[in-house]
Amino acid sequence: MKFIGTRGTEEKKSFSQAILNPAAPKGGLYSPESLPSIDEEFITKYTDYKSLAKAVLKKFEIDISDESLDKALKLYDKFDTKDVVPVEKIEDDLFIAELWHGPTRAFKDMALQPFGSVLSDLAKEKNENYLILAATSGDTGPATLETFRDKENIKVACMYPENGTSDVQRLQMVTIDAKNEKVIGVKGNFDDTQNTLKKLLNSETFKNTLKEKDIKLSAANSVNFGRIIFQTIYHIWGYAKLLQNNEIKFGEKIDIIVPSGNFGNALGGYYAKKMGLPIDKIVIASNINNVLTEWVNSGVYDLTTKHLIKTASPAMDILKSSNVERVLFDKFGAVRTAELMESLEKNGKYSLTDDEVAKIKEDFIATSCSDEEGFEYIKEYAKKGYIMDTHTATAIKAYKTLNSQNKQVAYSTAEWTKFAPSLYRALIEDKQVHDKEALEVISQKYNVSIPNMVKELFEKEITQKTVVSKEEIEKEIINFL
């Protein structure tokens, strides 16, 4: 399978080229030229997650050896459940697929665990050295550090806003003890952190240092197709699980409800549908940063009237949702995509035509959810015995308000333990407490366990102590290299 740029390409790339060097020409993203198809036999054949994953990856005909794929998929053995992604029945027509049973307790592990292994194998094979730069608001950082920890031929520099993450998220980063990884707290907010990263990529001193040391740059964010490919698998798994449990008959269409930020998870669902999975609608759940809801409902993507609002579901506090571009490309082609994205970059907005909006609506519907609404759903389901995090709650709002006739699979994208202070506000009282206290109180009151990897964080030695101002980041990274 070959990959082409969403804004046009002269040259098609292989999978390995597209993931090592994810920036496509003219600022675009690499997308598959065509998708494989799956049928009833395929969807009903596999009863364990790794076998299904291997079969899906083989369908994509990527240029990665079986040995490397097996090694990457073996990392799902580290997840704390045999199913990897358990699917729980919550209502007669609602199922929750939990994507957070990996080492950092959020859905980023689903893709980053195997992706890190594949990328490091490729770098080794080519005898090249790569630097992965990451700016994180909380979940991507820990998952990136975890997957590349002590990997050969890869170095990671990960920046986080000093006071912008939860305690658990920060501790997951600053207790990492790996020679090839540097964690840098930045005095400022997530925007400062991300802007610094962008500046760094244009700095001549920085580029020269990389050249001298013969280090190439790559990225592990969800513009990298190497993450998206692993995010098609669990959508197929969810459907197969409903079949196995006799909840649906083959061919019956379901909706999937996706708490969305950068649109990687939803894009995986869109590809799965295009491959032949019987999905009716992909439901985009947003928080009050509802640019995606507007986009689906009206075809207008408008950043000029918006500023980013901090919410209790911070992993979805995003206005420029990168992977939407891949949907535009798939539906309207490279010329139109380049035109729309150029308008977004120049004027801060674009508008789809009525025909185009109708095409988007064939696959997507969308809702947004405020923190207060989310807290109410968290409370309601806690009473029924299911504890969910703030991101998952946005999916419940979609379920409750859209009244679909289909069975629905909603994705739970983080374990509650990652956002315990917000759950404390929803379930105990409207007061700001630290993660440790919130974890203890909630776990006792609701009789839910806290996994060891979260408990241990509070006892672990802090190994990454660097906290600097924006201006000093470049120097820190160069010293590390």
Ligand X SMILES: *Cc1c(COP(=O)(O)O)cnc(C)c1O
Interacting residues toward ligand X by CB under 6 A: 106-108, 139, 222, 259-265, 315-316, 391, 413-414
- Residues 6 or more apart whose Cβ sits within 8 Å of residue 4: 12, 13, 24, 30, 31, 33, 334
Q: Between residues 101 and 108, which has the closer beta carbon with respect to ligand X? A: 108
Min. distance of Cβ 310 from ligand X in angstroms? 15
- Angle between helical axes of 167-174 and 435-446 (0-180°, round to 10): 120
Half-sphere exposure in the Cβ direction for 392 (13 Å, CA): 32
351 φ, ψ (degrees, to nearest 5): -130, 130
Task: Find the shortest distance in angstroms from Cβ 264 to ligand X.
Answer: 3
How far is it, in rounded angstroms, from Cα 199 to Cα 217?
14
How many other C-beta atoms lie within 10 A of the C-beta of residue 147? 28
User: Minimum Å distance from CB 365 to ligand X?
Assistant: 16
Q: Strand locations in 10-93, DSSP E?
A: 30-32, 87-91
In angstroms, what is the minimal distance from the CB of 6 to ligand X?
17
Structure tokens at 248: 């649906």
Q: How far is the CB of 312 from ligand X (least distance, A)?
A: 11
Instruction: Pick between residue 180 and residue 422 the one whose CB is nearest to ligand X.
Output: 422
What tokens does 29 get? 């993203």
CB atoms within 10 A of CB 152: 11
Nearer to ligand X, 196 or 265 (CB): 265
CB of 107 to ligand X, least distance (A): 5
Q: How far is the CB of 285 from ligand X (least distance, A)?
A: 9
The gap from C-alpha 227 to its chain's centroid, in whole angstroms, comes to 8
Q: What are the percentages of helix, strand and coil residues in the chain, rounded to 5? A: 50, 15, 35
Q: Which is nearer to ligand X, 122 or 257 (CB)?
A: 257
* C-beta closer to ligand X: residue 22 or 121: 22
* 263 versus 301: smaller Cβ distance to ligand X: 263
Structure tokens that stand for 229 in this block: 């490919």
Q: How far is CA 229 from the centre of its chain?
A: 12
| Between 122 and 312, CB nearer to ligand X | 312
